[in-house]
Protein backbone atom coordinates (compact mmCIF):
# COMPACT_ATOMS: atom_id res chain seq x y z
CA UNK A 1 0.00 0.00 0.00
CA UNK A 2 2.88 2.38 0.77
CA UNK A 3 4.34 1.71 -2.69
CA UNK A 4 1.01 2.69 -4.23
CA UNK A 5 0.97 5.99 -2.30
CA UNK A 6 4.51 6.81 -3.44
CA UNK A 7 3.70 6.03 -7.07
CA UNK A 8 0.48 8.05 -6.89
CA UNK A 9 2.39 11.03 -5.47
CA UNK A 10 4.97 10.76 -8.26
CA UNK A 11 2.26 10.63 -10.90
CA UNK A 12 0.49 13.65 -9.43
CA UNK A 13 3.77 15.55 -9.35
CA UNK A 14 4.48 14.79 -13.02
CA UNK A 15 1.01 16.05 -13.94
CA UNK A 16 1.69 19.35 -12.18
CA UNK A 17 5.05 19.68 -13.91
CA UNK A 18 3.59 18.93 -17.33
CA UNK A 19 0.98 21.64 -16.92
CA UNK A 20 3.67 24.16 -15.95
CA UNK A 21 6.06 23.01 -18.66
CA UNK A 22 6.26 25.28 -21.71
CA UNK A 23 6.39 23.22 -24.88
CA UNK A 24 6.74 26.14 -27.30
CA UNK A 25 9.09 25.67 -30.23
CA UNK A 26 11.09 28.84 -29.65
CA UNK A 27 12.49 27.51 -26.34
CA UNK A 28 15.61 26.26 -28.11
CA UNK A 29 16.62 29.80 -29.03
CA UNK A 30 16.00 31.03 -25.49
CA UNK A 31 18.01 28.21 -23.94
CA UNK A 32 20.89 28.89 -26.27
CA UNK A 33 20.82 32.60 -25.44
CA UNK A 34 20.49 31.99 -21.71
CA UNK A 35 23.00 29.18 -21.73
CA UNK A 36 25.88 31.19 -23.06
CA UNK A 37 27.95 33.84 -21.39
CA UNK A 38 30.23 35.76 -23.69
CA UNK A 39 32.97 37.17 -21.46
CA UNK A 40 36.39 37.72 -22.98
CA UNK A 41 35.28 35.91 -26.12
CA UNK A 42 34.61 32.61 -24.30
CA UNK A 43 31.24 30.92 -24.37
CA UNK A 44 30.17 29.11 -21.22
CA UNK A 45 27.25 26.65 -21.45
CA UNK A 46 24.70 26.58 -18.63
CA UNK A 47 22.62 23.48 -18.09
CA UNK A 48 19.08 24.05 -16.92
CA UNK A 49 18.70 21.30 -14.32
CA UNK A 50 15.03 22.00 -13.69
CA UNK A 51 14.20 21.51 -17.37
CA UNK A 52 16.14 18.21 -17.43
CA UNK A 53 14.21 16.98 -14.38
CA UNK A 54 10.88 18.05 -15.88
CA UNK A 55 11.70 16.22 -19.11
CA UNK A 56 12.52 13.08 -17.12
CA UNK A 57 9.29 13.29 -15.12
CA UNK A 58 7.19 13.72 -18.27
CA UNK A 59 8.90 10.80 -19.98
CA UNK A 60 8.34 8.59 -16.90
CA UNK A 61 4.60 9.22 -16.76
CA UNK A 62 3.56 6.26 -18.99
CA UNK A 63 5.64 3.88 -16.86
CA UNK A 64 4.19 5.25 -13.64
CA UNK A 65 0.66 4.92 -15.00
CA UNK A 66 1.31 1.31 -16.00
CA UNK A 67 2.76 0.45 -12.57
CA UNK A 68 -0.20 2.09 -10.83
CA UNK A 69 -2.63 0.10 -12.98
CA UNK A 70 -0.86 -3.14 -12.06
CA UNK A 71 -0.87 -2.40 -8.32
CA UNK A 72 -4.50 -1.33 -8.04
11-33 pLDDT, tens digit each: 777 666 555 545 555 545 444 44
- Band of residue 34 on the pLDDT scale cut at 50, 70, 90: very low
Rounded alpha-carbon distances, angstroms, from residue 37 to 30, 32, 43: 13, 10, 5
Q: What is the pLDDT of residues 45-72, one digit of tens each?
A: 556 777 777 788 888 888 888 888 887 7
**19-47 core/surface letters (b: 16 or more CB in 10 A; e: else):** eeeeeeeeeeeeeeeeeeeeeeeeeeeee
Task: Give the pTM.
Answer: 0.31
Q: What is the pLDDT of residue 45?
A: 52
Amino acid sequence: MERFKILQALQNQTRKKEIQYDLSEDDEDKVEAEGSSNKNGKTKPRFDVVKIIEDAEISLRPSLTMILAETS
